[in-house]
Amino acid sequence: GVPAKKINVNQVAYAPGLPKQATLTSTATVAQAWALKNSAGTTVATGQTVPKGTVDPESGDATHLIDFSSYDTPGTGYTLTVGTETSFPFDIATDQLKKLRYDSLAYFYHNRSGIPIEAQYVGDAYARPAGHLNVAPNQGDNNVPCLATISCGYTLDVRGGWYDAGDHGKYVVNGGISAWQVLNTYERAKLIGDAAALGDGKLNIPEKANGVPDILDEARWEVEFLLKMQAPDGMVHHKIHDQNWTGLPLLPHQDPQARRLSATSTAATLNTAAVAAQAARIWKTIDPTFSAKALAAATKAYAAAKANPNKIADPNDGTGGGSYSDATLTDEFYWAAAEMFTTTGESSYRSDLTSSTLYKGKSLNTRGFDWGSTGPLGDITLALVPNGLPAADVAAIKSAFTAVADGHLAKMAGQAYPAPYSPTEGYDWGSNGLVANNISVLALAHDFTGQAKYREGVFQGLNYLLGRNPLSYSYVSGYGEQPVKNVHHRHWANQLDPTLPTAPPGALSGGPNSALQDPIAARLLTGCKAQKCFVDHIEAYSVNEVTVNWNSAFAWISNWVAEKITT
Ligand code: 9MR
């Protein structure tokens, strides 16, 4: 790894008009003098650090707080100094923060399957042939059989969708939450935000002049894939991926492995029902035919899941792809009922929803939500999209968000490197994705109450992802002075092959994972404190992979942030 800085800042930019804080690592027990310098090296503000007094449990660092909020003059190339220590340079400005919304969404086109990625949209370095269309050596996703162990008796055409991550698998439960979150970014903006910023022509994708918002075109690429994963009986296959794991680097069109469908699962079926129901209402007037097709698939899936309520994906089906197995389905049932009810208003979905033990925000917590914990997605929809529920119930859902947001703020106030995230033990695989989702909870708390403290919490959380952390990394490629460069990805594999690119701007690394679940992390990070269980190494997949679900969370918050900075 690279040496960490002693003064850690948001390496990208602090927004004018909002609090500006940084962290000094120091065992000094008394306050230290800090200076803020502009790009010419002239001191523009000074102050005293505030010693924390205790060692921070999540980093192991003794730290001081540097609060330079009082300085608010926009500019670039500022640095903070304490004695001989200097921070990375940063801006007090909004330009970079505003670009993040589109770069984070660009991630999805880069990772599309079944379509050539064209230089006219991504530049020469990232252009590549279509993957998994049955052009040798690919075996293609054109007519994929099931695993021999389940021999389902049919093949499916499951071309398209997004690759999950650094691998070439396509997993319904993870692709589904990602498509949902991209769609929710739009749906929220349309209802209470700035939908104009998400109109047609905003992304560099093939559909950028079709009259439909590009963010919807991008999400539809995945929704269409989810619909193709539905079996004739209405259940949905859990995933499709290579028969054996491949090595790095390997571009999608070079993958020689056979592709196989895993069994159908209740989780994948409910996930598809939820996303297809959401899509049905979003495309209702934009494309009524697609809307009706999505609603029919959702209806069929929901009924099939109720008839097969406990078909759990095999936790040992992890050869050639991840297992994404989840034995608790209460939350998937809740989320699907919430989406079906919101779209249709039908009483059967309403009673499934209101009789759930999770009704009214019960699944929201300060660890956060992810592919295995989807209840909060239902709550977000119920809190944002008009439905026929009693006003008191909707108010209770919103209160659940503010209560969890208050929990995040209380924790962040005591942290050396504030990040809204309270896992039960250590940091999880994909902690940055959980942090990003929890930032969205703070953002929603601001949407529901208008209180400034929640907006400030959003920007504080963003600081952590963009460099105010104990390893001095911006976890977003292409942003900040020391961004991650070697994320685990079979195409963005410059570390292994100099003719290949590093990640394009806007990809969020999974981030610290206390469990050290790959050989590189296990070798280099033994004994690490939670926020330090990270290395920017391409083979360290348990800490430095990129995925659709982490980028969908990051895109959601990046769009919220861009909406809130008006200068
Ligand atoms: O993000 C997933 C994480 O929550 C799990 O703990 C981990 C182990 O099962 O798998 C992660 O998902 C990976 C998937 O299995 C395969 N594609 C890459 C995903 C991100 O690392």
What are the sequence ranges of the domains in the chain? 110-189+197-246+253-378
Per residue in 439-492, pLDDT tens?
Answer: 999 999 999 999 999 999 999 999 999 999 999 999 999 999 999 999 999 999
* pLDDT higher than 80, residue 566: no
Active site annotation includes 157: no
Residue 256 near residue 490 (C-beta atoms within 8 A): no
* pLDDT, mean of residues 210-227: 99
Write the class of the CATH domain 110-189+197-246+253-378: mainly alpha
25 C-alpha vs ligand 1 centroid, how far in Å?
Answer: 33
- Tens digits of residue pLDDT in 301-346: 999 999 999 999 999 999 999 999 999 999 999 999 999 999 999 9
Q: Residue holding tokens 């969890």?
A: 404
From atom 10 of ligand 1, which residue's Cα is the shortest distance away?
322
Burial class (CB in 10 A: 0-12, 13-18, 19+), 128: middle
Indicate which residue of 56, 518, 545, 563 is catalytic.
545
Phi, psi of 36 (to 5 degrees): -100, 125
Judge contact between 375 and 335, C-beta under 8 A.
yes
Residue 272: the pLDDT is 99
Give the H/E segment covering residue 85: strand 85-86
Strands (E), 113-169: 144-145, 155-156
Contact indicator for 415, 469 with CB cutoff of 8 Å: no
Active site residue 518: no
Does residue 3 surpass a pLDDT of 90?
no
ipTM over 0.95: yes
Which of the residue ranges 104-118, 370-384, 553-567 would you say has the lowest mean pLDDT? 553-567
Whether 64 is a known active-site residue: answer: no
Ligand 1 atom with minimal separation from the 517 CA: 8
Q: Is the pLDDT of residue 201 over 70?
A: yes
Distance from Cα 188 to the centre of ligand 1, integer Å:
28
Catalytic choice (110, 488, 491, 537): 488
Distance 216 CA to ligand 1 centre (A): 26
Collapse the DSSP code of 313 into the 3-class scheme (helix H, G, I; strand E, B; otherwise coil) and give the result. coil
| 107 alpha carbon – ligand 1 mean position (Å) | 18
Instruction: Give catalytic status of residue 536 as yes or no.
Output: yes
Residues with CB under 6 A from ligand 1: 164-165, 167, 169, 322-324, 429-430, 541, 545, 547
- The pLDDT confidence band at residue 291, using thresholds 50, 70 and 90, is very high
pLDDT of residue 567: 63
